[in-house]
Copies of this chain bind each other. A is one copy, B any other.
């Protein structure tokens, strides 16, 4: 493939260059390229050819300067390394990229100073809006700076109720999980969760309890809060089996925890799903599909959450929009670990 060698130093062609080559004024060239009226078809064609020949691409800086709108947004994450920012970011990038919007990515690394620095940088670049992605579902303080563009908080809602936040519906996730287990014929359901400090853990437990109540069932034992780790899942499952040998389903706070629970069940000779069904949250592919049997999990639809945040930001940019907390629904992804006992 004979690629044109990149002409370094050859500054990019401007509209003037195109106009000169086409033998028209810059005004006419602009109108021709932007499909405006009052340009003779023949002239337009000449301009188009000239533009193609010079591989002209209009300078977005100048355009943004004039229009007062840049077609850029800032995506401010507090923890890129974490598991949850990435899909949200992908969804947002997807929604924006499909349009004409480019995304500035910033990672504050959980540091408030860095966050302010990034916000300032984004504002000086005149972004049209901002999406702030939290690292957990716990509410976070709103941006410290006065920001004159719309802001949407994703995953972690803002503590300020007047801000617009898009969060996953963890309560409903818990409810759907238990409903699935009940639909699989399970009645003795235990819940091994993660860190109690996370509202995600508490909300899922609350949703699970609601579903149990609705079915007239009781949770087996207490909700076992611990850590978001395989090791905790293994340990907690051991204790659970000691105390409640007749458990027939374990709802786990995350796929990591579920992996640990699966390990212990296997070691104790309990078959999954025949004897005990196991279910996780997050639908983390590498963990869920690598498990034996593959793990049924609740997908929080984070990519959709990112898209929803992007859409909300669009609307807020175009018009002052009602502010509130919106939730995104989740879905159960059924795999081998909960095959129906019915």
Q: Interface on A for B, CB 8 Å cutoff? A: 1, 3-12, 55, 57-62, 64-65, 68, 70, 72, 75, 80-81, 83, 86-87, 89-90, 93-94, 97, 100, 102-107, 114, 118, 120-126, 141-142, 144, 146-151, 160, 229-231, 234, 256, 259-260, 263, 286-287, 289-292, 320
Contact = CB atoms under 8 A, between A and B. Distances in A.
Nearest to A5: B146
A68 B291 CA distance: 54
Contact of A229 (B60, B149, B290): B290
A108 to B, nearest CB: 9
A262 to B, nearest CB: 11
A83 B160 CA distance: 34
A320 B60 CA distance: 25
Given A57-B124, A142-B3, A144-B3, A90 B97 contact: no
B93 A106 contact: yes
Contacts of A256: 286, 290
Most buried by B among A10, A87, A102, A107: A102
Given A10-B148, A141-B1, A148-B10, A122 B105 contact: no
A84 B231 CA distance: 25
A17 to B, nearest CB: 14
Given A4-B146, A286-B287, 9 more contacts: A8-B148, A61-B62, A61-B64, A62-B65, A72-B125, A100-B121, A104-B105, A256-B290, A259-B290
B57 A61 contact: no
A105 B124 contact: no
